[in-house]
Amino acid sequence: EIAKRKDDVQKLERLIADLIRSEMEKSDVVKGDNKVPDIDLTNITSSFEKNKSLLPWPVSSGFVSERFGSHPHPIYKRIKVPNDGISIQTKQDEKVKAVFNGMVKKVAVVPGMKYVVIVQHGNYYTVYARLKDVFVHMGQNIKINDILGAVNTDVNGVSELQFQVWKNTTKLDPELWLAK
């Protein structure tokens, strides 16, 4: 079970990192040997940064069931379990909402994570994983609080969203970005 979870997390991390690298390469306009950042990306990046600790939660109700970073396994204390974001336990069929304006860059299925939606906000990306349904498509512009999908409920009856925030290829603690 631990090995499978680790493999699922690595698959999700590869998907996100590959997408971000690709977007970073596309976002630069090449003029001779100089790269000039796209103005729209600069504006939305700045706007996203100004909303640190003010973003709405991606679900209407719930609690953080696992924090960002490496943690001891709940049963096997000597084993560390990584979390690139936060896990938010919520109610069954809870709708998942965008935390900021942006563009849907990826909708994918990742084994163990069900559906994954990645939204770009300039140089920032928010990731919503463990969705059973998705209501958006790649390339779609979205607004804050638009519904992206619905949370999956696992075989144990647990409904839990995996939520991540990245700045380019750097993983950030999502709790620092969400409103208290």
Which has more pLDDT, 17 or 114? 114
User: What is residue 28's predicted lDDT score, i.e. its pLDDT?
Assistant: 57
The answer for residues whose C-beta is within 8 angstroms of residue 78's C-beta and 6 or more apart is 72
User: What is residue 71's predicted lDDT score, i.e. its pLDDT?
Assistant: 78
CB 146 within 8 A of CB 100: no
CB 66 within 8 A of CB 83: yes
Cβ of 83: how many Cβ atoms within 10 Å? 18
The mean pLDDT value for 164-171 works out to 93
Can you tell me the distance from the alpha carbon of 4 to that of 26, in angstroms, rounded to the nearest whole number? 33
The average confidence (pLDDT) of the chain is 88
Tell me the whole-structure pTM to 2 decimals. 0.84
How confident is the model over 90-137, as pLDDT tens digits?
999 999 999 999 999 999 998 888 999 999 999 999 999 999 999 999
Alpha helices in the chain (DSSP H): 2-27, 39-50
27 — pLDDT class (breaks 50, 70, 90) = low
The mean pLDDT value for 31-46 works out to 63
In sign, the C-alpha dihedral spanning 58, 60, 64, 65 is: negative
10 — pLDDT class (breaks 50, 70, 90) = confident
Tell me the percentage of the chain whose pLDDT exceeds 90. Answer: 64
Tokens standing for residue 43: 């504006």
10-18 contact pairs (CB < 8 A, 24+): 11/110, 11/111, 11/112, 11/113, 12/84, 12/110, 12/113, 12/116, 12/127, 12/129, 12/162, 13/84, 15/106, 15/108, 15/110, 15/116, 15/118, 16/118, 16/125, 16/127, 16/164, 16/166, 17/169
